[in-house]
Amino acid sequence: MAADHAPDLGRDAANHVPLSPVSFLRRAAGTWPGKVAVRHGELAFTWAQFEARCRRLASALARRGIGRGDTVAIVAPNVPAMLEAHYAVPGLGAVLNALNYRLDARTIAFCLDHGGARVLIADREFSPVVEKALALARNRPLVVDIDDPLAPGAPVGELTYEAFLEEGDPDFVLPGPRDEWDSLGLLYTSGTTGDPKGVVYHHRGAYLNALGNALAFGLSSRSVYLWTLPMFHCNGWTYTWAVTAVGGTHVCLRKVDPALIFPAIARHGVTHLCGAPIVLNLLVHAPEEVKVRFDHPVEVATGGAAPPSAVIEAMERMGFRVTHLYGLTESYGPATLCAWQDEWDGLGLEARARLMARQGVRYPTLEDLQVADARTGVPVPRDGRTLGEVMLRGNTIMKGYLANPKATQAAFRGGWYRTGDLAVWHPDGYIEVKDRSKDIIISGGENIS
């Protein structure tokens, strides 16, 4: 066996730093301090202001005893507080548990207990279900109410979010992870039977998948990203960090409503958005008086069921360019994309739609992908006909399921993450998902797999 080329050269603070998406915040604030980072209704924060708010939140949590390995849960729509939590919590070395606000009280209570949440940040709109969940939970965390003026609902917590921020120091130094394998996030994924499984993310995976998004979706400092995808869903497919990595602008949206989406695109110059196919259908079938015209192309990434040709055509007529993605909670969201080929430009709509319906090829930051026999692990022929299970491998796969070694072992059998999705492999290397081999719940257009 060959010896190490340079055995005397080891890791040093100068040449080895744990990868973490939290690092994108400091760079964005240092590079574009006066640029608008986040918009929400009439509210706007520059990158310098946004960073200070994130530092305040982290500091306030630290003063309440939150530190490495502690869980902070949040139930909120796409508002600035949700985005701030994606930096403050992992920036402390703590674990962010972004909960689906469509879950019932019993399930939320289970997640709070199973994940060991010490703090719950909750938007007032969801006060009724949160109050019931807290009554069912074995232990009550500190509850902080997000006091968004655009939200209805009564407070259920000990103090408001803005009052909590006032407890913090805007110059607080985010310690970050000690190791890039440290847990960053906890997300619960539910089937139709049994309790949810807690998917654990690490800093390295979130960092890499965010960069994969920036590469695959063409993000830049001029990008304006509209939050039509829930941030609780795979941490917003890691766009919570990807947009920051390039110094783009986040445009928050409490509700997916065409009457809000079209004006936001025109007013803020939105360039990118993501969403389930139901979001595309909402845009296509919106009343004509709602469809505010815009004079620039908008890139749309969609996952799940392939959009039909009629939807693609209608989206293109309105100025949207659609890209089909595939992924799961366990893969930080997107793991493949239907990468565009130049020779498709001259094809007719039906031919293009057939190609665009496929889930495509592996993401830039995914190490490997195969469609293989679920029993033997042998790859299926690339004939576009033979079914096999989609299997993924690489740095953008979860650490595993929290306190569930049996499920983790089953998911990683044979050195691959077994997705449970059945697909064919086309001769050009593109995969096309045909069926699910595991049960899922679909709520509000989102797969809670």
Mean pLDDT across 11-21: 97
Residue 188 lies inside a defined structural domain of this protein: yes
Q: What is the pLDDT of residue 403?
A: 98
Same domain, 197 and 269: no
Amino acid at 71: T
Q: pLDDT tens for residues 344-357?
A: 999 999 999 999 99
Q: pLDDT tens for residues 251-263?
A: 999 999 999 999 9
Residue 19 lies inside a defined structural domain of this protein: no
Same domain, 126 and 212: no
Same domain, 87 and 100: yes
Which residues are CB-neighbours of 352 under 8 A, at least 6 positions away?
Answer: 309, 312, 344
Residue 35 lies inside a defined structural domain of this protein: no
**Total domains, the chain:** 2
Residue 7 lies inside a defined structural domain of this protein: no
Q: What is the residue-averaged pLDDT of the chain?
A: 95
- Reported as a pLDDT band with limits 50, 70 and 90, residue 446 is low
Same domain, 45 and 119: yes
* pLDDT reading at 447 higher than 80: no
Percent of the chain residues topping a pLDDT of 90: 92
List the CATH number of the domain containing 231: 3.40.50.12780
Same domain, 330 and 416: yes
Helix (H), strand (E) at residue 224: strand 224-226
Residue 18 lies inside a defined structural domain of this protein: no
- 379, 391 Cβ separation under 8 angstroms: no
Mean pLDDT across 140-156: 94
Same domain, 152 and 234: no
Same domain, 222 and 138: no
- Reported as a pLDDT band with limits 50, 70 and 90, residue 151 is confident
Mean pLDDT across 370-374: 98
Residue 343 lies inside a defined structural domain of this protein: yes
Q: What is the pLDDT of residue 1?
A: 57
Same domain, 293 and 389: yes
* pLDDT reading at 187 higher than 70: yes
- Reported as a pLDDT band with limits 50, 70 and 90, residue 441 is very low
Q: Which of 57, 44, 51 is nearest to 27 (CA)?
A: 51
User: Other CB atoms closer than 10 Å to residue 148's CB: what's the count?
Assistant: 23
Distance CA 224, CA 421 (A): 33
Q: What is the pLDDT of residue 448?
A: 41
Percent of the chain residues topping a pLDDT of 70: 96
User: Other CB atoms closer than 10 Å to residue 372's CB: what's the count?
Assistant: 18
Q: What is the pTM of this model?
A: 0.96
- 61, 69 Cβ separation under 8 angstroms: no
Q: What is the pLDDT of residue 449?
A: 40
Residue 197 lies inside a defined structural domain of this protein: yes
Greatest alpha-carbon span in the chain: 71
Distance CA 172, CA 186 (A): 24
263-270 long-range CB contacts below 8 Å, 24 or more apart?
A: 263/292, 264/226, 265/226, 265/292, 265/294, 265/298, 266/292, 266/293, 266/294, 268/39, 268/224, 268/226, 269/224, 269/296, 270/224, 270/225, 270/226, 270/294, 270/298
Q: Which residues constitute the domain of residue 418?
A: 205-448
Task: For residue 248, report the phi and psi dihedrals to the nearest 5 degrees.
Answer: -75, -165
Same domain, 302 and 198: no
Distance CA 89, CA 117 (A): 12
* pLDDT reading at 440 higher than 50: no
